[in-house]
Amino acid sequence: MVIDVVETEQIASLDVLRRIRLADDGYIVNAEPTGKALVHRVNAKCISPDRFNSNVVLKGGKQGAYYWTDTVSTAFRLYGATRCRVCKPEVQVVHPSGFEG
């Protein structure tokens, strides 16, 4: 038996963003075109639906992309994200690079 494990999902519409925020599970990564990525709590005030609509919907993702992730570690591993200094998700997480030999 194969079990699909979803670690991340691109958030491409306001409806998807609303669904994710209502579920109140996981984290949101805001990945900018410059390569900088921040991981936020899923319902953080620093994730604004208006800004999402402007950057993703109206500008076609040219100002960045948003992703849902299951854990902060997934955000670190897949997107090279750093923790948001405003909402401070998972304060005691060990960055995966600390496990390398």
pLDDT more than 90, % of the chain? 59
Tokens matching residue 2: 């194969």
Does some domain include residue 29? yes
Q: What are phi and psi of 60, to 5 degrees?
A: 60, 30
Does some domain include residue 1? no
Domain of 28, in residue numbers = 8-84
Question: What is the reported pLDDT for 58?
Answer: 85
In this prediction, residues 5-15 reach a mean pLDDT of: 87
Does some domain include residue 33? yes
Does some domain include residue 90? no
Q: Note the pLDDT tens digit of each residue in 22-58.
A: 999 999 999 988 889 999 999 999 999 998 998 888 8
Q: Which residue has the tokens 């997107």?
A: 79
| Residue 92 scores a pLDDT above 60 | no
Look at 96 and 1; give whichever has higher pLDDT. Answer: 96
Sequence-distant (6+) residues with CB within 8 A of 95 are 76
Does some domain include residue 74? yes
Question: What is the reported pLDDT for 4?
Answer: 54
C-alpha 1/C-alpha 3 separation (Å) is 7
Say if residues 51 and 94 touch (Cβ distance below 8 Å).
no
Number of domain units in the chain: 1
